[in-house]
Structure formats: C-alpha cells, structure tokens
Amino acid sequence: MTLYLASKNPGALSSSKKNWTKFKSHPLAYASIVFLLLLGFCALFIPILSPYTYYDINLSIKNQPPSLQHWFGTDDLGRDLFTRTWNGARISLFVGIAAAAIDLVLGMLWGGIAALAGGKVDEMMMRLADILSAIPSLLMIIALMVVIGPGLHTIIIALSLFGWITMARVVRGQLLQIKHNGYVIAAKALGASFWRILFKHLLPNSLGPIIVTLTLTIPSAIFTEAFLSYLGLGVQAPIASWGTMASEGLPAMEYYPWRLFFPSGLICLTMLAFNTIGDSLSNMFDS
C-alpha cells in the first residue's frame, strides 16, 4: 500500500494520517462505507434468516405488490422478492467485484507496460487488444460455455476476457500523456527500473481515470451477466442476480413496477456508494 502513496510531488510523501482524516471528514464517503457494509451484511445473512427461500414457488400469490408478508412483493412465480433480492446481491456483488478486480489488474498491467515501453511493444500490445475486441464476443462466450460448462466461474472468465480492454486503453492513454513529465524523466535519469517507474510513479498518478473506469466496469459486468443469463449462458435458474431480476422485471414494469424497482434501485445505490468511495480515495492521493 505504501507504493500508492506517491503523489504529484514525488519525494514528499504525505502522511497517511493526514489523508485518512481528510477521507473521514467527507461525510458521504463515510456513509458509503457504512452502506456497503450493511449491504454485505444483508447479502450474507438475510437469505439465511428469512422465513422464505429464494426458490420456493407459490403460484397462487404471484405478482403481489409489497406488503407486510412480502416486503418487496412477489415475482411472477410467487417467490418472495426480498429474499431473492438479497440472494441476488451475493451473485451480483461477487460477479461485479471479481470482474472489476481482474479488469483492474490486467488492464493496469497491459496498459501500463504498453505505454511505458512505447514503440513496437506498444503497437503490438494495442493491436492485440484491438484483435480481441474485434472477435465477436458472443461467439467466444458460447464457445467458453460449451467447453467449460455453465456456471458462475464461466461468467467471470467470460466477463474478464473482454472487460480489461477498456481499462488498458484508458490507462495507456493517461500514461502516454504523463510519461513525459519532469519527474518521470528525472527518475529515469536516476536509473530507476522499468517496474519501479511504472508502479511508483506512473500508475499512482493515474488513479483518477482508473477509478472512474472501474466504476464503469462493475455495473457493466452485472448487466452483461444478466444478458448472458437471458440467452442461457449464465447462472442457472432459479438463482438470479440483480441484473437478471432487473431484466425480468423490465417487461412487467407497467403492471408490476416493484419487480424492476428494487433490483435496479439497489444497483444504483451500490454504484453511488462505490463511486463516492472511489472519489474520496482519488482525492486522498491527489493532493
């Protein structure tokens, strides 16, 4: 973690204590962390504690609006939406965070190396990224499903295969621009190695765009997973993620709006929370 405390003015390491206070003083960031913890707590415990399960079908009470017995209402097969939503939270959060983590690592490495190495290496790496984007992703994902079999692990691999490219491009774009800054040249002159420059100077100063891209990756992963599930390429019924529930709730929006509202509302709130934390983190490193 100390690597990332490098700032715009290298050599003057800000004290972590000062930054942490700065972070805490921003009330929204604080609230976001609390919210996320609450979210995680609910996702873990509510499916266990709830009197209903996420898969018990009761056709006679289908499509009920929110009530005292069913806080979020019921879906088209009479299942309790409250329990299903928190069960879905597990899937969505897991998929979102896993995909984001892989995208982050792959993207930063790829974009970073390409930008810093420059010249032919850069050319080659970016062309490879372009090639990967050009291959029809649906084709690739079906092939994956056939070879590996359906399931959560396959979805994560499928999402990671393509998600890192945007991150790599953004990182490369950013690094191309700052690699000619004074302090980088100075570091080079002082004999710093490739990796040191990358990890100590360049990447920490790109944290802003990286975090912004990351907050794009998570909902993108969630909804791509929903799209794939719809095509029969994702997690199997009756398990459903937020994305799947939102997609299923959408056609019924006119008649049973709660089926859309709760899953997508939660996705938005979660993203807001991640964003606020991300912004604060980025502020923390910026000054």
Partner 1 sequence: MALLIIRKLFYACLSLVVVMTFTFLLMKMIPGDPFQQEQALPSEIHQALRSHYGLNDSFLKQYGRYLKQATTFNFGSSLVHKGQSVSQIIRTSFPNSALLGGEALALSIPLGLLFGIAAALKPKKAQGSLITCLAVLGISVPSFILATLLQYILGIKLGLFPIARWGSMMHSFLPALSLGFMPMAFIARLTRTKMIEELHQGYVTTARAKGIPEISIIAFHALRNILSPLFSFLGPLTASILTGSFIVEKIFSIPGLGYWFVSSVLNRDYPLIMGITVFYCAILLLTSLIADIACLFVNPRLTAAALQEREKS
Partner 2 sequence: MRILLFIPLIFIIAVSLGCSKDSTPSQNSPSSNQITIATSDDPLSLDPRLVRDLATATVMRMLFEGLMRTNSKGILEPACAQEVAISEDQTIFTFILRPCMWSDGTAVTAEDFAETWKSALKPDFPAPNAYQFYLIKGAKDAKEGRAPPDQIGIKAESPNTLVVELEQPAPYFLELVACHFYFPVNRTMRLSNEPITGNIIGNGPFKYENWQHRHEFSVVKNPDYWDAKSIQIDKIILQVLEEHTALQLFKIGQIDWTGSPLNTLPQDAIEILKEQNILKVAPGAGTHWFRFNTERLPFTNQKMRQAFSLALDRHAIVEHVTQGNQSPATGILPPSLEIDNQQYYEDHDLGKANMLFSEALDELGFSRDQMTPITLHYTANDRSHKIAQAVQQQWNTLSNVPITLESGESKVTYDRLNRKDYQICLGSWYADILDPINFLEIFKDKDNPTNQTSWQNETYARLLDQSSKETNPQKRLQLFNAAERILIEEMPIAPLFYASFNYLKKESLENVYFSPLGYLDFKEAYWQPHAMEK
| Cα 198 to Cα 179: distance, rounded to the nearest angstrom | 9
| Cα 232 to Cα 108: distance, rounded to the nearest angstrom | 32
Among partner 2, partner 1, none, residue 264 binds (CB under 5-8 Å by kind): partner 1
Number of residues that bind partner 2 (CB under 8 A): 25
CA of 89: how far to CAs of 63, 69, 234, 264, in Å?
21, 21, 16, 11
Among partner 1, partner 2, none, residue 16 binds (CB under 5-8 Å by kind): none
Give ∠ CA 6-10-12 in degrees, rounded to 5. Answer: 90
Specify whether the CB–CB gap between 88 and 263 falls below 8 A. Answer: yes
**Contact flag: residue 148 with partner 2 (CB under 8 A):** no
CA of 66: how far to CAs of 74, 79, 247, in Å?
7, 12, 19
CA 203 to centroid of chain Cα atoms: 19
| Look-up of token digits 């399960």 | 53
Q: Which of 16, 25, 34, 130 binds partner 1 (CB under 8 A)?
A: 130
Among partner 2, partner 1, none, residue 92 binds (CB under 5-8 Å by kind): none
Q: Which of 4, 23, 52, 55 binds partner 2 (CB under 8 A)?
A: 55
Q: Kindly state the smallest distance separating residue 248's Cβ from partner 2, in Å.
A: 8
154 versus 280: smaller Cβ distance to partner 2? 154
CA of 52: how far to CAs of 49, 83, 87, 169, in Å?
9, 7, 11, 46
Contacts to partner 2 by CB under 8 A: 55-57, 59-60, 62-63, 76-78, 142, 145-146, 150, 230-233, 236-238, 251-252, 255-256
Contacts to partner 1 by CB under 8 A: 8, 118-120, 123, 126-127, 130-131, 133-136, 138-140, 142-143, 146-147, 165-166, 169-174, 176-177, 180, 208-209, 211-213, 215-216, 219, 223, 227, 231, 243, 246-247, 250, 253-254, 260, 264, 267-268, 270-272, 275, 279, 282, 286-287
